[in-house]
Amino acid sequence: MPYVNIRIAGTLSREQKAAIASEVTDTLERIAHKPASYTYITFDEVAEENWAVAGKLLDSDA
Amino acid sequence: MPYVNIRIAGTLSREQKAAIASEVTDTLERIAHKPASYTYITFDEVAEENWAVAGKLLDSDA
Amino acid sequence: MPYVNIRIAGTLSREQKAAIASEVTDTLERIAHKPASYTYITFDEVAEENWAVAGKLLDSDA
Amino acid sequence: MPYVNIRIAGTLSREQKAAIASEVTDTLERIAHKPASYTYITFDEVAEENWAVAGKLLDSDA
Amino acid sequence: MPYVNIRIAGTLSREQKAAIASEVTDTLERIAHKPASYTYITFDEVAEENWAVAGKLLDSDA
Amino acid sequence: MPYVNIRIAGTLSREQKAAIASEVTDTLERIAHKPASYTYITFDEVAEENWAVAGKLLDSDA
């Protein structure tokens, strides 16, 4: 019963999300023996204004 | 001091969220003896494009 | 496909967790029309040393 | 490698988020000895309709 | 800057976690063009007593 | 009503957690005008075997 939350800064296309979901589900089935039908994956696309690294928001000027 | 995060695919009406918050808070008070005033509940309404089951996004064609 | 994460300070008995899971799943089925079989609920029992309110860890002396 | 998720009801200005990210990163560097460059901070601004305290959504009438 | 949280019921071996982390990081680099060095992955191994599906804890008798 | 989750790889002493909780609560009060009594902070101390950066678990040999 895996639950996977993928948070990224910015956005992904629908095609990217579909491909990532497919691959990650396959990884968990092959390596962790979790049936694919039990795997939930959610994507959180976080605005760059809402994500900081090293104390600076990602939309900051350098 | 419970903190409850409810993530659902799609959306809920305000009335549904109000009723769920009321019932879940009551459940935690009756069963876990947590005072209602300490219980925080947040709802995350996740777009179907951002939720995958069995390796497929929920907005996929069958 | 709800995913519910319940975080509480301290611990719950197995019986409390079973009763809470049953009631919350029922709440989501009745109010949000989410089939019970799709609802995942996880409990995180957080040590009082790891939970702060008002800037003080919960295991602090008053 | 800290990962910090800050969820607040309502919104913050960009300036508030920048200042909070800077201070929290500094706190973790000074007290926990985590290099600033390894610290990720994300903000989730949750609508008042999606946050309940004491069983009531925050946008409820009193 | 992806942050990925993988929650599974039960445990994984160190080898399983290493292989999953490697594959998921590679997936995000290939498909989402996120440099591997920016990807954080955390595993939460949740006891079966703390995970419910369909309103029943996973360690329940059938 | 902020809810802050601080995840770090490894452990912190009780003194470190108390100091971090105090400072972060103060930061949110000063900058975001959130009353201290409404701020919850939780710490998740994640084993190095359960945290990967750049596709490698943190307890890996170099």
Residues across chain D: 62
Q: Which residues pair with B32 in a beta bridge?
A: none
Which residues lie closer than 8 Å to F56 by C-beta, 6 or more apart?
E18, E21, E22
Model ipTM value: 0.96
Per-residue pLDDT of C11-47, as tens digits, reads: 999 999 999 999 999 999 999 999 999 999 999 999 9
D35-50 pLDDT per residue, tens: 999 999 999 999 999 9
Which residue in E has a C-alpha nearest to residue A22's C-alpha? E27
Instruction: Give the number of beta-carbon pairs within 8 Å between A and E.
Output: 67
Query: Across residues B17-39, what is the average pLDDT?
Result: 98
3.60.20.40, 3.40.50.2000, 3.30.429.10, 3.30.930.10: CATH of F3-53: 3.30.429.10
Compute the mean pLDDT over every residue in chain F, rounded to the nearest whole number. Answer: 96
Domain boundaries, chain C: 3-53
Which CA distances in Å does D54 have to C13, D59, E37? 23, 13, 42
Q: Does residue E31 carry a pLDDT above 80?
A: yes
Superfamily of domain E3-57: Macrophage Migration Inhibitory Factor (3.30.429.10)
Cα within 13 Å of Cα(E4), Cβ side: 32
pLDDT in tens, chain A (62 residues): 899 999 999 999 999 999 999 999 999 999 999 999 999 999 999 999 999 999 999 999 75
Kindly list the residues from chain F whose CB atom is less than 8 angstroms away from the CB atom of residue E14. 49, 57
Chains that touch C (3 or more CB pairs under 8 A): A, B, E, F
The 3 state secondary structure assigned to chain E is: CCEEEEEEECCCCHHHHHHHHHHHHHHHHHHHCCCHHHCEEEEEEECHHHEEECCEECCCCC
